Amino acid sequence: MEIKWLEDFVAVAGSGNFSRAAETRNVTQPAFSRRLKALEVWIGVPLLDRSSYPILLTPAGVKFLPVAERIIRDLNAGRADVRTISSVGETTLRFAMPHSLAVGFFPHWWQATTRADKKLNAKVIADNYHDCVEMLLNGACHILLCYRNEAVPDPLSASGCEGMAIDHDRLLLVSVPNHKGQPLHSVGVMNGPRVPFLNYAPDAFLGKVTASLLNSIDQSLDFELRYESAFAEAVRAQTLTGAGVSWLPYSLIMGDLKDGRLVLAGDNLPEAALEIWIYKSAKDRSSIVEALWKDAEMKLANAGAA
């Protein structure tokens, strides 16, 4: 049993609506429904009367709701108490971020940001965007590092979190080269074969960004979806096999472009601008978080003055 199942149950009990509760929990409705079903399987009886609208609780659900609320409340309070005790003298910052940022961006940014403060240590938790957001909101990490793009709403803007843009990235459409150094799969060739396309899962953050890009592409460009994954590293690995073209973050493929393992898949192709943001809880005033925030602001100020 997972704590998120209980939080999902409390959310739908409060709203009486699957779509509204799923949006509040920042998860797709199919995934939200699967998690509620998993909770009911674990409990052993139905908790929700899905035949009614708004959704009502079954007698078992009515009885279980205060139990779920108490478990969530006690777990959060207990975790806060333990962390308060163990945080004395702590110098390790817990970061949550998508895998692509953990691999392509974070190592260089961390070294440049904390160069003057050798006392700070980092623990990186790489996960999908939704779970990273949940970790920050639930206090499981100090700092969230993530992408932002106008195609995807920001779930943290009204959640009592402070954030700032620390850098920029972009999604580039790339292919492996042929023996002449030209893209093996060239986009924009009129009357050519269908272009094999490697994409992100529709509910992934970058999947929503690429969906917006696809809507902006001339309909004469003929893509054939061959592969999907929620993770940019998996899409990159598949692209490097020559299986097709994909939009990948520049920070993740800088080395591939420099060494010629990947090339742009054509000329004047659409690309997506990505902002890289860090967030912290407005309630977290611990010294290590404040030190990191100050270092990040100083690095931005120095970059702006350069």
Output the domain CATH number for residue 174: 3.40.190.290
pLDDT at residue 32, as a whole number: 86
Q: Which of 69, 85, 101 is the last residue before a domain boundary?
A: 85
Phi, psi of 66 (to 5 degrees): -65, -30
pLDDT at residue 88, as a whole number: 43
pLDDT at residue 117, as a whole number: 60
Task: Clarify whether residues 118 and 243 are in a common domain.
Answer: yes
Task: Clarify whether residues 53 and 97 are in a common domain.
Answer: no
Q: Which of 10-14, 24-28, 75-79, 92-96 has the lowest mean pLDDT?
A: 75-79
- The winner for highest mean pLDDT among 28-42, 89-103, 255-269 is 255-269
Q: Which of 59, 85, 111 is the last residue before a domain boundary?
A: 85
Task: Clarify whether residues 12 and 111 are in a common domain.
Answer: no
Q: Which residue has the higher pLDDT, 235 or 21?
A: 235
pLDDT at residue 190, as a whole number: 57
Q: Which of 85, 110, 131 is the last residue before a domain boundary?
A: 85
d(CA 181, CA 172): 17
Task: Clarify whether residues 59 and 203 are in a common domain.
Answer: no
Task: Clarify whether residues 29 and 168 are in a common domain.
Answer: no
Share of the chain above pLDDT 90, in %: 41
23-75 pLDDT per residue, tens: 888 788 888 889 999 999 998 999 988 877 788 899 999 999 999 888 888 88
pLDDT at residue 115, as a whole number: 66
ω into residue 54 within 30 of 0, thus cis?
yes
163-213 pLDDT per residue, tens: 999 999 999 999 999 999 999 998 875 556 789 999 998 888 999 999 998
Query: Which DSSP string do the residues of 57-112 spell out, in sequence order?
Result: E-HHHHHHHHHHHHHHHHHHHHHHHHHHHHTTT--EEEEEE-HHHHHHTHHHHHHH
Task: Clarify whether residues 107 and 187 are in a common domain.
Answer: yes
Q: Which residue has the higher pLDDT, 126 or 83?
A: 126
pLDDT band at 129 (very low <50, low <70, confident <90, very high): confident
Task: Clarify whether residues 53 and 112 are in a common domain.
Answer: no
pTM listed for this prediction: 0.70
pLDDT band at 257 (very low <50, low <70, confident <90, very high): very high
The whole domain housing 165 covers 91-306
User: Where residue 48 sits, what CATH number does that domain have?
Assistant: 1.10.10.10
Which two structure tokens, joined as six digits, stand for 214?
A: 């696809």
Residue 90 pLDDT more than 70?
no
Task: Clarify whether residues 133 and 274 are in a common domain.
Answer: yes
Task: Clarify whether residues 272 and 233 are in a common domain.
Answer: yes
Task: Clarify whether residues 80 and 95 are in a common domain.
Answer: no
Task: Clarify whether residues 126 and 47 are in a common domain.
Answer: no
Residue 131 pLDDT more than 80?
yes
Count of structural domains within the chain: 2
Task: Clarify whether residues 303 and 207 are in a common domain.
Answer: yes
